[in-house]
Amino acid sequence: MEQIASVVRRAAAAEAIEIPAPAVAALARSATGSFRDALGTLEQIVTYSGANIALDDVLAVLGVADARLLEITIDAVCSSDAAGALKALEECVEQGRDAASFASDLELRARELLIVQTLREVPAELSLTPRPMQRWRRRPSAPTAPRSSGCWNCWARRWRRCAQVAMRARASSWRW
């Protein structure tokens, strides 16, 4: 990821594009090892926001879920509040975001939280959103990694299925 971030920073500097480190990290993570994808995404972001890029611009172009909704959903799951989790999904869909992508982002965030809790620090690879990670690292009621990693994987599969059903139901109501 650091190599891709370095290439993105060099390309941005060569084109007089201002992009903060967290935005570079988000872009590099989304490229999943592909330099070409990273540079292509940088070009899309410049088209979207101009030469002064903010983290929110990168997240919008990448379609990353709203961090607030992810936190609300994780809080709801940790407190066994199914209605709260479904309300967050509804808000996500109302914002025009893809429910399946939200489920993937949620699964990724849950795994990141488990890593932070296990290490008791935010690794550089996860520095995209340190404030929520710091909050979760200190949170006493958050699930601990040993007892919850299997639970999160199971929950993520169920959440994805629930999101797909919700989207189908919503799509069928739009046709009427």
In angstroms, rounded to a whole number, what is the distance separating the alpha carbons of residues 87 and 29? Answer: 28
pLDDT value for 92: 82
pLDDT value for 161: 67
Instruction: Mark out the alpha helices in the chain (DSSP H runs).
Output: 2-14, 21-30, 35-49, 55-62, 67-78, 82-94, 99-119, 130-138, 145-175
pLDDT value for 51: 93
Q: Is the pLDDT of residue 135 over 50?
A: yes
Per-residue pLDDT tens over the stretch 70-125: 888 888 887 778 888 888 888 888 877 777 778 888 887 888 787 777 777 777 66
Decide if 64 contacts 26 (C-beta within 8 A).
yes
Segment 145-169 shows an average pLDDT of 59
Closest CA to 124 of 52, 34, 22, 30: 22
Q: Is the pLDDT of residue 9 over 90?
A: yes
Per-residue pLDDT tens over the stretch 48-60: 999 999 988 888 8
